[in-house]
Structure 1
Amino acid sequence: MKKTFYLFNPGELERKDNTLKFTPVSEDGALAPASQARYLPVEDISEFYVFGSLRANSSLFNFLGQKDICVHFFDYYENYTGSFMPRDGLLSGRMLLAQTEHYRSKSKRIIVARKFIEGAAANMLKNLAYYNRRGKDLEELMLAIKKLSENIPLTESVEELMGIEGNIRQAYYQAFNLIINDFEMGTRTKRPPQNEVNALISFGNMMCYTICLRAISQTQLNPTLSFLHTPGERRYSLCLDISEIFKPIIVDRTIFKVLNKREIQANHFDNKIGRCLLNNAGKKIFVRALEDRLTETIQHKSLGRKVSYKHLVKLECYKLAKHLLGMEEYKPFKMYW
């Protein structure tokens, strides 16, 4: 299985024959000695996540495109800034027309949009039920989410649906203070996050966004045409739609794990006036835990075999594509254990 590589420190990435060479860069901008360079076998790489400054040239990106390797970029404040994606060889005019039709039709769009929130709410409830069985007393919040979820099939507009989703998530986030042992979440804050838990949520959600982007790129779906979130300039809004289903399963469960097992502690954050961010040590711990979650497998009911959480995201894209083409009704993934 191909691996994801994370580049936290500044450096230069270049093609070296039929492989890749990463050389660290010091604070004064000088390249490290050749002995510190790291060679990466290109056939083992699926994508790069770049958190530090990166020197590269067009020859490198041509090579990455040939090898179907994408690169995701983040700025100093951990905001996702963009991706280099290999040339899309799966483009389909038929799929583009189907996506456009479902977006432009109010009745068809709301059906798909409801499915995303239905799946998200079900997976949030599964998380709460898991910790409720372990003595966290979440019955009241679970009941509130269930009552709010009953209104999802009754919504007639995306705006109304988003309002219900906001109320569901507000109740869900209240449970974080009960689930997490040593940190307080308070209210949800972002751009920038104000405390440690919010920093992890923002960072994890951006990671989930890029995971969905990569999965979409491996299908015929267009990432700019969405149904729950309004398509806009400079963003792949379909990734936001699909990530709603997987944030509770992948991101939130990883956050609960690293905090309650004290893998991430207060010294893994940089707290400054008005913002709180993971430092490099904290990022490394979190992405390692996230990778563990993504490679974990479950027995898939329909396929009758084990699949990883990462592969579940791609399967979700295939299911959505079949719905748009009129082949099969889309049913969002819901945890069943």
Structure 2
Amino acid sequence: MTVSAQAVRTLLSRDIPVLWFSYGGWFSGIAEGLPGKNVDLRIAQFRASEQQQLEIARRMISGKIRNSRTMLRRNARGEMPRVGEQLKQLAIQAMQAESSQQLLGIEGTAARLYFGSFPAMVGKNSRVDVSDFQENGRTRRPPKDPLNALLSFCYTLLVKDLTVTLMGIGFDPYYGMFHKPRFGRPALALDLAEEFRSLVAESVVLQVLNNGEVGPQDFQSRAGGCMLEASGRKAVLRAYERRLEQEITHPQFGYKAAYRRVMDIQARVLGAVMLGELDDYTAMVTR
């Protein structure tokens, strides 16, 4: 698909960014209007102390682990008390981490436990075989099986949206609190994505699998990896947009908002913490 120069100019004049993806679903680039005018926010972002960055990262990762635990409790076939209790303890440990390296280790342990149980959330109505995921676990670049391909594609969509959200508020999305800066890596978007992985991306994956919205014909294996065909990408995009429009009650503020709006709220909460308008960052955690 191509976009004419006239269309790009019109979109940019209305503050609507234009994004490009590879055929494999990787976020390739973005065109937007003038950079955000909130220079004070970017100054505060770059001046944040290591301790402040660690405190924010603790809350984001603890929130991620708590959301993963809730996801398993709601969707797993059969009881998983051992994994649930382990995730509960890891969420507590994340809040007590004394360094970013320690926090990284806690997050990695939680991820292994969670993804080890992920196939238990895929129901019998799924037309996609997840046995390869059960054997190999989470794989990326390239994903080795259909379930990993779905996860990677949905994570890409999520990070893309959070990158745009952060840029619109005035952040530099490439300078993170938990994920270290690296060329071409939207570290802050990856940070904020942590608490939304279960709430948005993984929920979409389970939805398209358990509702039979994707099947074996929607995937292609080549060069040692697995990727979504155009039909599969369209199905996932439809489900992803439905999820973003779903309304929930924000646990901190008590009013209803669609997930798309909640992502913006969380970015603004982070900005308020950076500027000293709020004392602590509160992660988005579902009940």
Same fold (TM over 0.5): yes
Counterpart-to-counterpart distance in 1, 2:250 and 2:107: 27
Is 1:332 the counterpart of 2:283? The answer is: yes
Q: Deviations over 1:160-205 (max 9, x none)?
A: 2111111111111011121113423231111100000000000000
Could you say which structure has the larger radius of gyration? Answer: 1
Counterpart-to-counterpart distance in 2, 1:188 and 1:151: 23
Asked if structure 2 preserves the Cα contact closer than 8 Å seen for 1:254 and 1:290, the reply is yes
Percentage of matched positions with identical amino acids? 26
Counterpart-to-counterpart distance in 2, 1:152 and 1:13: 45
Please report how far the alpha carbon of residue 284 of structure 1 lies from its aligned counterpart in structure 2 after TM superposition: 0.6
Q: Which amino acid aligns with 1:290?
A: Y
Asked if structure 2 preserves the Cα contact closer than 8 Å seen for 1:152 and 1:161, the reply is yes
Asked if structure 2 preserves the Cα contact closer than 8 Å seen for 1:136 and 1:179, the reply is no
Counterpart-to-counterpart distance in 2, 1:150 and 1:320: 21
Select the residue among 67, 82, 90 that pairs with 1:123: 67
Q: How many residues align?
A: 278
Please report how far the alpha carbon of residue 77 of structure 1 lies from its aligned counterpart in structure 2 after TM superposition: 2.5
The structure that is strand-richer by fraction is 1
Asked if structure 1 preserves the Cα contact closer than 8 Å seen for 2:39 and 2:170, the reply is no
Please report how far the alpha carbon of residue 304 of structure 1 lies from its aligned counterpart in structure 2 after TM superposition: 4.3
Select the residue among 28, 33, 42 that pairs with 1:96: 42
Asked if structure 1 preserves the Cα contact closer than 8 Å seen for 2:251 and 2:285, the reply is no
| Unaligned segments of structure 1, at least 5 residues | 1-10, 15-56
Asked if structure 1 preserves the Cα contact closer than 8 Å seen for 2:59 and 2:95, the reply is no
Q: CA RMSD in A?
A: 1.6
Asked if structure 2 preserves the Cα contact closer than 8 Å seen for 1:216 and 1:223, the reply is yes
Q: Which amino acid aligns with 1:148?
A: L
Cα distance 1:97–1:273, how it changes in 2: closer, same or farther (>3 A)?
Answer: closer
Asked if structure 2 preserves the Cα contact closer than 8 Å seen for 1:227 and 1:238, the reply is yes
Is 1:311 the counterpart of 2:256? The answer is: no
The corresponding residue for 1:174 is: 116
Counterpart-to-counterpart distance in 2, 1:298 and 1:147: 26
Counterpart-to-counterpart distance in 1, 2:145 and 2:16: 34
Structure 1 segment 65-214 matched on structure 2, within 5 A? 65-88=12-35, 90-102=36-48, 105-132=49-76, 135-181=77-123, 182-184=129-131, 185-186=133-134, 187-214=137-164
Q: TM-score, normalised by structure 1?
A: 0.78
The structure that is helix-richer by fraction is 2
Asked if structure 2 preserves the Cα contact closer than 8 Å seen for 1:300 and 1:307, the reply is yes
Q: Deviations over 1:244-284 (max 9, x none)?
A: 11011001111111111211111110122401101000111
